[in-house]
Structure 1
């Protein structure tokens, strides 16, 4: 009876950790969404909202990480349960860094507004890749909630689309700046924004890889994609 009680309490602790992770993920999703709206609308108020929300993200990271350490110390989980706790700890680090990138988008947007006003560079790729990054993060968190390794593989594969948008925008940006040197300062700000979005996609991909690690017990970071797919479908 006592063992059953301890097991039930342990499950509750794990579920609480997962719920906190998803809560933090929701905050970061909103932060990225607001950052992209700030960029699309060139809106200073939205930029400031993103920067302000970073405090909440940082606080959640510290809270969840402390809970992970405490759970490991008290419960001494093994096998899949330990992988889950370790993956949560790593996932929140990626979420916090994704939040940092959203803040970077907001700060660079604020700089463009203050220094350049309207700009003539077509930034369609930035807007598209921003929405793709939000979708990818949402999917990776959904995979984590369901512990769906097969769906996680798709997230890893889809991250390549954001990389392609980034490379396409960089090529276009170089042309713009070469044709009009006065656009170099704004162009560099846009480059940092595009890179920040690309990094958000990378963090979403990392979270998806942690799902495969939890479910399959294999570290698939830095492995060829064919091997990753085979591991997920075992």
Structure 2
């Protein structure tokens, strides 16, 4: 069962500081999500103005990272948190790094369009494949953040398994791009561009998985990095008994 209670201390100010750390992380994540959504829209619709906006928008995400980092360090210095409070602060610090990288990857997608040659637009089928993969990535990210906010290890476990479908999409797009390049040298530029965007989306899936692992750490107090899905299931099931 999820446990989204944060705080519960005699000091209401301390509770508010912990809650603010999570709230600011979610605000930062919303910016990164919008940045990624806009980047995908810009790339698939060849909207250069929107792509430039995504690129310029990246500074706001970076500013959020600095603000949250300073907020968490202030909590560590003044409150000297322990147990679940310390896990919360550490999980937020880890997660803002993943969210910041997601913002960077959105900017990379936008820059792929800005660097696009006038006569090298991808085919509709290629753009459709990227759009489908992008929707899966955005949904995974949204659900990963919800699992973190609710401190729900079971939900986080379910979400991180979605990364396999994203990896499969990436493999199919990459294989199609390689085949296109081999069949027609004129397709090299377009295929490289498609592969670059697909790789960025695949990396967003990886960072979403990381956020799920941070949620499990926050909920259960176990560092589950580098564990297989089967091992993660055992950790979650053991804690539920």
Pairwise same-fold verdict (TM > 0.5): yes
**4+ long deviations beyond 3 Å:** 114-117
Instruction: Measure the CA separation in 2 of the matches of 1:66 and 1:6.
Output: 24
Structure 1 counterpart of 2:110: 106
Cα drift, residue 119 of structure 1: 3.0
> Which structure has the highest helix share of the two?
1
Matched, 1:156 2:160: yes
Matched, 1:58 2:62: yes
> Taking structure 1 as reference, are residues 183 and 117 closer, same or farther at Cα in structure 2, changes over 3 Å only?
closer
Instruction: Measure the CA separation in 1 of the matches of 2:131 and 2:104.
Output: 18
* Superposition TM-score, scaled by structure 1 size: 0.94
Instruction: Measure the CA separation in 1 of the matches of 2:10 and 2:80.
Output: 12
Matched, 1:119 2:122: yes
Instruction: Measure the CA separation in 1 of the matches of 2:56 and 2:12.
Output: 38
Cα drift, residue 115 of structure 1: 3.9
Unpaired stretches in structure 1, ≥5 consecutive residues: none
Picking from 215, 218, 236, the partner of 1:214 is 218
CA offset digits 1:174-196 (Å, max 9, x no partner): 11111110111221111111000
Matched, 1:135 2:139: yes
Instruction: Measure the CA separation in 1 of the matches of 2:122 and 2:89.
Output: 46
Picking from 72, 83, 86, the partner of 1:82 is 86
8 Å CA contact 1:121–1:176 kept in 2: the answer is no
Cα drift, residue 111 of structure 1: 1.7
SS at match of 1:212: helix
8 Å CA contact 2:153–2:236 kept in 1: the answer is yes
Instruction: Measure the CA separation in 2 of the matches of 1:157 and 1:201.
Output: 10
SS at match of 2:94: helix
- Name the count of aligned residue pairs: 230
What value does the CA root-mean-square deviation take over the aligned residues? 1.4
CA offset digits 1:19-50 (Å, max 9, x no partner): 00000010001000001101111110110111
Instruction: Measure the CA separation in 2 of the matches of 1:231 and 1:5.
Output: 28
> Taking structure 1 as reference, are residues 136 and 92 closer, same or farther at Cα in structure 2, changes over 3 Å only?
same
Structure 1 counterpart of 2:5: none
